[in-house]
Structure 1
Amino acid sequence: MARPNLDLIAALRRTARKIEKGSPYQWGHMGSCNCGNLAQELTRLTKAEIHAHALANGRGDWNEQLNDYCPTSGLPMDLLIGEMMEAGLDPDDLKQLERLSDVRILQRLPPEKRYLRHNFRDDVVLYISEWANMLEEQLLAPIKLPHFEWSEQTVLA
C-alpha cells in the first residue's frame, strides 16, 4: 500500500493533470502508459528513456517488470522502479495503477464510474485523481486541530 506523503500526492496530481491536458498517453507504451506517466513525474525521465529502460530489461509490460523487480540488480528498469518505491509506492500499487484495479480507490467512486477501462484517458485521470485524494485524506487523518468555542464575545473581540 502506498505510503502517503506530499511528494507522491503532488506527483499523482501532476500526472492526472498532464494526461487530462493531452500529454502523450498510450497504454501499450512503457513510457506513456499509466505507470509510465507517473514514472515521468517521479523520476524526471522522459517517456523515451523509460521505454528504453524497459526494453533493455527485455521483460515485457509493467506487470512483468514488477514481478521480476530486483532492487540490487543494477538494471536501469529496476533502478527506475526502485526510485518509485522510494517515493512511497510498492509493486502492487503500480500493478493496480496499470489496470486501474485498486478496490479501495474504485469503492470511492460513484457506482456508475467503478468499471474503468485502462486504455481510456478520462478513466485514468479519474483513478489517479481519486488515488491522490485518498492518500491526502490518509496523510491528514492523524492531524487534530484544537477545538475552539465561539461566542459573540469571541467575534467582537
Structure 2
Amino acid sequence: MQSIEAIFGLVMLLAGATIYQWVDEDGNRHYSDRKPDVEQFVEVELDEGSISTYRAVPTPAPAENGEGPENAGAAGPETPERAARSNAAARRDELERYCNDLLEDLDAVQDQLRRGYREPRGQQLRDRRRELRAAYRRECV
C-alpha cells in the first residue's frame, strides 16, 4: 500500500498538483488531487528526496542484424579495432547488468523497509540502502 502511495505521490508531484490527505472514520488514510468532502484534511507537501524512483530498466532484446555472438566470425578476421569495440561493448553490457542488479537490490531493500521491521533490522536495511545508493551513484550515474 505504501508503494502505491509513493507512486501516486510521485505522479502528483510531477503533475504539479496539490495533494490532499485525510483519515476516514475507520482509520484508513486517503490521498486525492481533489479537495475532500471531510472537515479534517491536510495539503501534503512532498519532499522529492523521500520518494524512491529506482526501477530496473529492462534490457533490450539482442539485435537481429547479424552482430550477435553466433555470427562473430562471419564478417572476417578479428582486427584490433573490432576487438576494442567488442571489448567496450562487453564492458558496457556488464556495467548495465551490474547497475540493473543494484537497482533490483535497492528495490528489494526498499520493499522490506516499507513492509515494516523491528530494530536492529531496520537500521541494517537503511545501511544497506545507503550502500546500494552510493554504489549506484558511483558506478552507474
TM-score higher than 0.5 here? Answer: no
- TM-score, length-scaled by structure 1: 0.28
- TM-score, length-scaled by structure 2: 0.30
The structure carrying a bigger helix percent of its residues is 1
Which fold has the larger relative contact order, with Cα–Cα distance below 8 Å and residues 6 or more apart in sequence? 1
The structure carrying a bigger strand percent of its residues is 2
